[in-house]
Amino acid sequence: MRNSTGNWSYGLRAAVFNLALVFGLALAFGLTLSGGAAEARAKTVLALGDSLTHGYGLDEKDIFPVQLQKALAAAGVEAQVINAGVSGDTSAGGLARLDWALGDPASPPDLVIVELGANDALRALDPRATEANLDQILTGLKQRGIRALLAGMKAPPNLGADYVASFDAIYPRLAEKHGVPFYPFFLDGVAAQPSLNQADGMHPNGAGVAIIVERITPLVVEALK
């Protein structure tokens, strides 16, 4: 009788132990899965810019946000790139619509690419005003806990050496001040190349955008980490 009772007790304890072990493993595995799912969650990139971001004169497949999203996918990064470019926009315009572009505060983007200033230079606006606007944009993103990548711009040389020096210095100074990833010249490798620009000589064609995307993608991937 004692043996049967002892065997029953031992069997019960073993069953309870096995059940606890299975439950623990399932829980741990479930946590691992949920953690992996969180890590694999698609990123959201907001491209805040002017016509260079918006895609002036281009088919949808050729615009910067679409080409960047494909390049990120090819690099193993699942991301949605939102087109928040407005043709003709200045740094002041980008600042004015920042809250609207960011959307729901409960689901902010993982990264904002700030590409503004080209129209400021084309209109020969005061570089100090451009810097102040971009500074406020970067400050606003930092206050919201949103990472930013700053894309630089260069002033046309026909505006004179003094203006060019003042304007071009805005971007590296702001990148250092805010500690954000910095792509020095958004049109690097494309500006002044007729084969890579539309007839106006200012807006990249599809091939030009592909060059921009190829060069900026590694920095975007790193910023998303």
51 is catalytic: yes
Tokens at 193, concatenated: 């190349």
Rounded to an integer, what distance in angstroms lies between the CA atom of residue 91 and that of residue 181?
A: 19
- Check the CA dihedral 142-147-148-149 and report its sign: positive
Q: State the catalytic residue, choosing from 59, 104, 162, 200.
A: 200
Q: State the catalytic residue, choosing from 50, 89, 168, 203.
A: 203
Rounded to an integer, what distance in angstroms lies between the CA atom of residue 106 and that of residue 113?
A: 19
166 is catalytic: no
Number of neighbouring beta carbons within 10 Å of residue 56: 17
91 is catalytic: no
Q: State the catalytic residue, choosing from 51, 54, 91, 168.
A: 51
Helix 170-178 vs helix 161-168: crossing angle, to nearest 10: 20
Let me know: does 153 contact 117? Beta carbons within 8 Å.
yes
CA dihedral 175, 178, 181, 184 (to 10 degrees): -10
Question: In sequence order, what are the residues at sequence separation of 6 or more whose Cβ sits closer than 8 angstroms to the Cβ of residue 125?
Answer: 90
For residue 126, the number of C-alpha atoms closer than 13 Å in the C-beta half-sphere is 4
Rounded to an integer, what distance in angstroms lies between the CA atom of residue 172 and that of residue 151?
A: 10
Catalytic positions: 51, 200, 203
